[in-house]
Amino acid sequence: MASLKNIKLKIQSVKKTRQVTKAMEAVSAVKMRKTQEQAFGSRPYAVAALSMLRRLSTSVDLGKAPLFRDIPGAKTCLIMITSDKGLAGSLNSGMTRAVERMLTEKGLTVENTIIIAIGRRGADYLASRGFPIRYRLENVSDQVEESTMRTLADDVLALREQEEIGSCLVAYTNFLSTFEQLPVIRQVLPLDSEVLHSMVKGIAPVRGKYAQSEMEIEAPAAYTIEPESSVVLAEIMPKLISIALFHALVEAKASEHSARMVAMKNATDKAGEVAHDLTLKFNKARQAAITGEVSEITSGIEAMR
């Protein structure tokens, strides 16, 4: 009887766990869709800013612009975006492996790298390897605020203006589809119109409701600009940094919720299988107990005869 009671308690425990994972799956699905809407809704703004940059490139030598050139000997800033919470499958481990490969390939060490960590998982990973965290941002809201990214962009631009850093990389998980997320590391500084173009193009997922739609960057055209092209360029460049960081965080959030939704779905399905197997085991144990009791009664009757 003790064995039957233990099995029954396990079945109840697994069913309760299944209820929790199913609820978490539903919550992650809603959050994923909201984050996709936020990313896709701001895409026209990013496209317009890049279009303006390409038009300005016809009248301004971008190679001489401060944010378009490298600073030899300066440090590299790495912005690593991960999640604060777990239960998201291999999302964070895939990101950390990609960062580790990149650090090795580029020869980035504790001495020549400045770390900005968004999310507890990435911050803990880099801190455990001896990297000092210059800025650490945790518990980021699912509704990504543009003002937050503007503040972060100002911090990066301040490091660049002081020539403490020459380049800046952002590592995040790109949302391709509900079941596919890809860790990517893109260059933010020095600015590169082609890199920004590929980032904006990747805002919409490959498949699903918000799949890629035609929204091409307009071809460059020559304009007469007042007051001067260089003044307009100086105004637009910091905004492009904010756009790049904003979309990196939005993509990472969509990937996090998608990965957690899939992980919770797998956990829900597995819990159902475990509950089914335990129920079969319980029925077999109960049947064996009943058979044993019947045998004992039969044996007793036979002995009395």
Name 190's Cβ contacts closer than 8 Å, sequence gap at least 6: 67, 68, 69, 70, 166, 167
Rounded to whole angstroms, how far apart are CA atoms 246 and 200?
11
pLDDT for res 175 = 79
237 shares its domain with 282 = no
Residue 183 or 47, more confident: 183
Listing from the earlier edge strand, what are the strands of the sheet with 113-118? 133-137, 113-118, 75-81, 165-177, 180-189
Question: Sign of torsion, CA 65 70 71 72?
Answer: negative
Q: How many domains does the chain have?
A: 2
From 226, 242, 260, the end of a domain falls on 260
* Domain assignment of residue 84, yes or no: yes
* Domain assignment of residue 116, yes or no: yes
213 shares its domain with 288 = no
Rounded to whole angstroms, how far apart are CA atoms 221 and 207?
33
pLDDT band at 59 (very low <50, low <70, confident <90, very high): low
CATH number at residue 78: 3.40.1380.10
Among 102-111, 175-184, 292-301, the range scoring the smallest mean pLDDT is: 292-301
* Predicted confidence (pLDDT) at residue 29 exceeds the cutoff of 70: yes
Rounded to whole angstroms, how far apart are CA atoms 96 and 83?
11
* Predicted confidence (pLDDT) at residue 126 exceeds the cutoff of 60: yes
- Provide the b/e sequence for 114-142 (b: ≥16 CB within 10 Å): bbbbbbbbbbbbbeeeebebbbbbeebee
182 shares its domain with 282 = no
19 shares its domain with 94 = no
236 shares its domain with 294 = no
Cβ atoms of 171 and 95 within 8 Å: the answer is yes
135 shares its domain with 208 = yes
* Predicted confidence (pLDDT) at residue 219 exceeds the cutoff of 60: no
* Domain assignment of residue 243, yes or no: yes
This prediction's pTM: 0.77
* Domain assignment of residue 30, yes or no: no
163 shares its domain with 117 = yes
* Domain assignment of residue 39, yes or no: yes
CATH number at residue 8: 1.10.287.80
Report the SS3 class of residue 232. Answer: helix
Residue 4 or 202, more confident: 4
Domain that holds residue 20: 2-25+262-304
pLDDT for res 78 = 92
Q: What percent of the chain has pLDDT over 70?
A: 75
DSSP-based helix, strand, coil % in the chain, nearest 5: 60, 15, 25
pLDDT for res 212 = 53
9 shares its domain with 55 = no
- Listing DSSP states for 11-73 in one string gives HHHHHHHHHHHHHHHHHHHHHHHHHHHHHHHTHHHHHHHHHHHHHHTTTS-GGGSGGGS--TT
* Predicted confidence (pLDDT) at residue 141 exceeds the cutoff of 80: no
* Predicted confidence (pLDDT) at residue 147 exceeds the cutoff of 60: yes
pLDDT for res 208 = 55
111 shares its domain with 202 = yes
Q: What is the pLDDT of residues 65-91, one digit of tens each?
A: 677 777 888 888 999 999 888 788 888
18 shares its domain with 50 = no
Per-residue pLDDT averaged across 107-120, rounded?
89
Helices 2-41 and 229-304 pack at an angle, to 10 degrees, of 160
pLDDT for res 213 = 53
190 shares its domain with 243 = yes
Cβ atoms of 268 and 22 within 8 Å: the answer is yes
* Predicted confidence (pLDDT) at residue 171 exceeds the cutoff of 80: yes
Rounded to whole angstroms, how far apart are CA atoms 117 and 152?
11
Cβ atoms of 208 and 177 within 8 Å: the answer is yes
Nearest to 67 by CA among 166, 151, 155: 166
Residue 94 or 216, more confident: 94
53 shares its domain with 192 = yes
Q: 223 is written with which tokens?
A: 């304009």
Residue 216 or 56, more confident: 56
Per-residue pLDDT averaged across 274-282, rounded?
87
